[in-house]
A and B are shown apart, each in its own frame.
Chain A
């Protein structure tokens, strides 16, 4: 019996540079929350807010199909280039995935199956407010419009084999220079997440 954590129990403390996207609210409420913090005074801010709300809608739809996909999206945060403006750099999503194994290596192997790896994902133990976790990054070679790009998924894993799932916090970037910064921010975010 898989019993992922309840989104309402999850919170993040000590956020620096992250803006929360509350997946327990309706997209309209999330939109209002974004605009309350970042009034859409210009086209870019308005369009960015719309884009983030679209992402919330899509994450919620994916959760709705959870039984078929084995994925439950629990929470999301957006990393801002400048906390004073709505300037997204990356979005971190907290998910519950059906997974019997408690071995992080096996989880990572499952996620990278069939992908061309740029280098071996390093596994680093990380102490968090929700207990021990594993921090890693997966760099894959992607062929985009005929060209070769290296993308990176920054990933934190909380295995919960006794409940039949693993919780992941992941953010995806398409630029390795940016990934350095996102990786550091992910570590800080993961450390403060409670309720898993």
Chain B
């Protein structure tokens, strides 16, 4: 009995400083993607990894898949570099093993709130993301990845990778095909002098090659803009969710920015990016604390998850009733507790003069739909070249129109190339213009609603 007491003494005292590493137990065993930008927004809102009746279930892109039947998972291990990074393609990984086989490789950084990821505390990450709860629901605990785990990870196939974001969008081939199209179109120019038919054929080939990557690029850009305009999916928040728009004048400045406060999820949508927290029903967000000038979502253990600026969302930030009502409906407590400085920076913010810079730089290229300046310029250039070739073909075959069948074919062919190239060019330039308008820097003006301090 003395030893039993001693063991208890060990527990209560030795746990002192290490208690900051306590594993979460209140969290439901449900992992939701925490951030997603651009094209990854659709992936983020459709994805969840959960343990249901002891089975591991992945829902993604409208499909439901049982990754592991009850009792199949024998070990859960976390393979993480000491310090988290922000590169989504180099996430730490949570391995769910069944014997020597990987049943799921969860890219855990995708499922971790940025504030937690930036803290650099991997233990906190496992707790807040729901990884600890997931393991506990399987009657296991997350362990440090050992050599065997790393071997299993190395052999894990694509089908077991669980990502909360798209790895990349579009094909790397599109660059190569686009360059090939450019070369073919350039070669067309001298061929136009060799004879009208040969020139038109070459021009049509160049345009056909170019059209595929150009149309794919246009589709991705258009989808990207659509996703930003759609904002959060209210259903995602669960019953009783409230979708908040910014308070004037920010609603005009950022017409698509929204804050979804629901019992299942809290989602901040701003300029093509989303940040998602598990809601109160999942043991995530527990309280919103505010002091009139700042507000922070906390979990049940008072860990800061996300900071928001009440002045951005409420006409009178000292009485954030809109926010408070939405929170209460979602089962989130609201308090005017003195906010312990969470160190988190709210974004978007109502600070006057703060320039919300080009948001594209905050997204990995894959998530902004390969929307790099280089690619969009290349697409526009190659398509414009096709327009020139089509025009030269038309004008070149016009003067000696003699009714010869070949000349007529060349004229019609050149005309078709010209029209097709013009249509493609208008699509490309149109979406490029919309993207540039979307990405404009915004300066928030000083407003009466702004706090006096």
Contacts and interface: CB of A to CB of B under 8 A. Distances in A.
Interface residues of B, number: 35
Contacts of B126: 175, 177
A1 interface: no
A45 interface: no
A112 interface: yes
Interface residues of A, number: 54
Given A89-B18, A172-B15, A71 B9 contact: yes
Contacts of A111: 3-4, 6-7
Contacts of A148: 25, 136, 139
Given A151-B11, A153-B11, A181-B144, A175 B23 contact: yes
B2 A70 contact: yes
A135 to B, nearest CB: 16
Contacts of B132: 149
A42 to B, nearest CB: 12
B281 interface: no
B144 A153 contact: no
Given A69-B5, A153-B10, 4 more contacts: A55-B17, A153-B11, A174-B18, A179-B144
A170 B25 contact: no
Interface in A62-78: 62, 69-71, 78
Interface of A: 48, 51-52, 54-55, 58-59, 62, 69-71, 78, 88-93, 95, 97-99, 107, 110-115, 118, 138-139, 144-151, 153, 168, 170-181
A52 to B, nearest CB: 7
Nearest to B131: A177
Given A148-B25, A148-B136, A98 B2 contact: yes
Given A59-B13, A176-B144, A181-B144, A153 B7 contact: yes
5 contacts: A51-B16, A90-B14, A91-B18, A173-B21, A175-B23
B78 interface: yes
B142 A178 contact: no
Contacts of A176: 141-144
B17 A48 contact: yes
A177 B2 contact: no
B15 A174 contact: yes
A10 B22 CA distance: 32
